[in-house]
Amino acid sequence: MRFLEWWTTLSAWIRYPVGLLVIAGSTIGFMTVRIGFGEVWGMGWALGAILLLIGPSQANKKGYHF
């Protein structure tokens, strides 16, 4: 959980490229190294999507920290 808390404090200029890099790396790996990597690319997509979607909440954007 500490990673997710830290992740939400990062700028969008860092969060989005890293999430897209995870997705792109997973896709490129799936297309080039099919042996053994075919099972992992779906998890790479899921992780990339989660990293893209997780960001600061509206309460954190407005300054309300509970």
This prediction has a pTM of 0.74
Q: Supply the pLDDT for residue 26.
A: 86
Query: Could you say which DSSP state residue 38 is in?
Result: T
Q: What gap in Å lies between CA 7 and CA 55, rounded to an integer?
A: 7
Residue 32 inside a domain? The answer is yes
- The domain in which residue 35 lies consists of 18-55
Residue 29 inside a domain? The answer is yes
Residue 42 inside a domain? The answer is yes
Residue 3 inside a domain? The answer is no
Q: Supply the pLDDT for residue 36.
A: 58
Q: Supply the pLDDT for residue 12.
A: 83
Q: What gap in Å lies between CA 2 and CA 17, rounded to an integer?
A: 21
Residue 47 inside a domain? The answer is yes
Residue 61 inside a domain? The answer is no
**Cβ atoms of 30 and 37 closer than 8 Å:** yes
Q: What is the block-wise mean pLDDT of the chain (66 residues), using blocks of 10 residues?
A: 83 89 87 68 87 74 59
**Cβ atoms of 41 and 26 closer than 8 Å:** yes
Tokens of residue 5, six digits: 């808390």
Residue 51 inside a domain? The answer is yes
